């Protein structure tokens, strides 16, 4: 007889009870930019603080052009200006990233699908084989013309020196293997899509669920699989199925409360503390460490730096 997967209460205690039960063995995650805003990294579509709202006042044809392959071909400067500011390594994982690590430690994490290119899941200690970077990452790069790969160290040096990398073979533009609008998603993503159907629990965090095909993963969860949305606002159609739970709050707040219910809070905070030590070993100052107001101010500051820098470059081109 098929086991019922109905969660009793559509709230944090009900979710904790389900996670503790033997019905919940495989958790699949879908992440978006909202899981990293408390690290000081702006998201894309929040009305005041999001990247696109801020880029809208610049002389770009449209804000998303910064991630559009045909625009990049004509003018790579806005993207590389952004890459310089958001280059991985500057930021500390959030409590939510440590929660993902904790799920893995408790042998509950099946797959962590992320749209983010900040690599904070890895930096929080989540094993590579559990992470699917659906929109690629800064880990590798290729010429957009002849597809030749480009040296990692040289790429990092040039991004940090605000230079535009050019192919050593054909002098074409080099681009990190992050997925731009108009490009295909990585093979690893396509291969991992069936993993969603194996989930006993799907948790969707910090995403507007507007970009496909990623957003469509939510529909691939089995009919009896509970889907949980943890986000500042209601997105997609989560809430329509009988087993859906919608928790509208900051991810860090929700996962902390959830871990308290599970008796995991100390373990969560100990794992998060390790991410601070890791940032210190790397010789980096974490951009934001605690306190929501302080963290949001940091994301806003960075947003100002990014838009000013891109605006200056666009005006220079004029």
Structure tokens at 233: 């606002």
Q: Which parts of 24-43 interact with ligand OAD (CB under 6 A)? A: 32-34, 37-38, 43
Residue 173 is classified by DSSP as: B
Is 20 labelled as part of a ligand binding site? no
Q: Which of 46, 158, 275, 298 binds ligand OAD (CB under 6 A)?
A: 46
207 binds ligand OAD (CB under 6 A): yes
Helix then strand then coil, in percent of the chain rounded to 5, is 45, 15, 40
Contact 40, 52 (CB under 8 A): no
Going 243 to 248 to 250 to 254, the CA torsion angle's sign is negative
93 binds ligand OAD (CB under 6 A): no
Rounded to whole angstroms, how far apart are CA atoms 26 and 263? 19
Q: Which parts of 278-317 interact with ligand OAD (CB under 6 A)? A: none
- Residue position matching structure tokens 């986000």: 231
67 binds ligand OAD (CB under 6 A): yes
Shortest Å distance, C-beta 205 to ligand OAD: 7
Q: Which parts of 125-184 interact with ligand OAD (CB under 6 A)? A: 135, 179
Q: Which is nearer to ligand OAD, 210 or 290 (CB)?
A: 210
Calculate the CA dihedral of residues 103, 86, 138, 67 and round it to 10 degrees: 110
Q: Which is nearer to ligand OAD, 5 or 93 (CB)?
A: 93
Q: Which of 21, 70, 210, 290 binds ligand OAD (CB under 6 A)?
A: 210
218 binds ligand OAD (CB under 6 A): no
Contact 173, 167 (CB under 8 A): yes
Annotated binding residues, written as ranges, equal 33-37, 43-45, 115-118, 143, 146, 167, 170, 207-208, 231-233, 251
């Amino acid at each position: 007889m098929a086991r019922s997967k109905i969660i009793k209460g559509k709230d944090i205690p009900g979710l904790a009870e389900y996670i503790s039960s033997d019905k919940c063995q495989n958790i699949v995650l879908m992440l978006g930019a909202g899981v990293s805003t408390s690290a000081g990294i702006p998201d894309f579509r929040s009305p005041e603080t999001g990247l696109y709202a801020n880029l809208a006042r610049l002389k770009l044809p449209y804000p998303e052009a910064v991630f559009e392959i045909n625009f990049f071909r004509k003018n790579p400067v806005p993207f590389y200006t952004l890459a310089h500011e958001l280059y991985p390594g500057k930021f500390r994982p959030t409590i939510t990233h440590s929660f993902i690590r904790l799920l893995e430690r408790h042998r509950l994490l099946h797959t962590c699908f992320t749209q983010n290119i900040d690599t904070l899941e890895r930096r929080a200690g989540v094993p590579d084989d559990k992470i699917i970077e659906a929109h690629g990452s800064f880990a590798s790069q290729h010429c957009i013309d002849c597809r030749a790969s480009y040296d990692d160290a040289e790429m990092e040096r040039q991004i940090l020196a605000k230079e535009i990398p050019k192919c050593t073979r054909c002098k074409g533009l080099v681009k990190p293997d992050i997925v731009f609008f108009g490009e295909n998603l990585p093979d690893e993503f396509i291969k991992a899509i069936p993993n969603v159907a194996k989930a006993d629990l799907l948790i969707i965090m910090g995403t507007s669920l507007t970009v496909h095909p990623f957003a469509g993963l939510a529909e691939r969860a089995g009919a009896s699989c509970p889907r949980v949305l943890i986000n500042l606002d209601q997105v997609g159609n989560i809430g329509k199925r009988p087993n859906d739970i919608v928790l509208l709050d900051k991810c860090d707040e929700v996962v902390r409360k959830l871990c308290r219910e599970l008796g995991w809070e100390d373990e969560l905070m100990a794992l998060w503390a390790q991410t601070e030590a890791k940032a210190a070993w790397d010789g980096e100052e974490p951009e934001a460490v605690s306190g929501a107001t302080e963290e949001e101010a940091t994301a806003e500051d960075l947003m100002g730096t990014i838009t000013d820098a891109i605006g200056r470059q666009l005006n220079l081109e004029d």
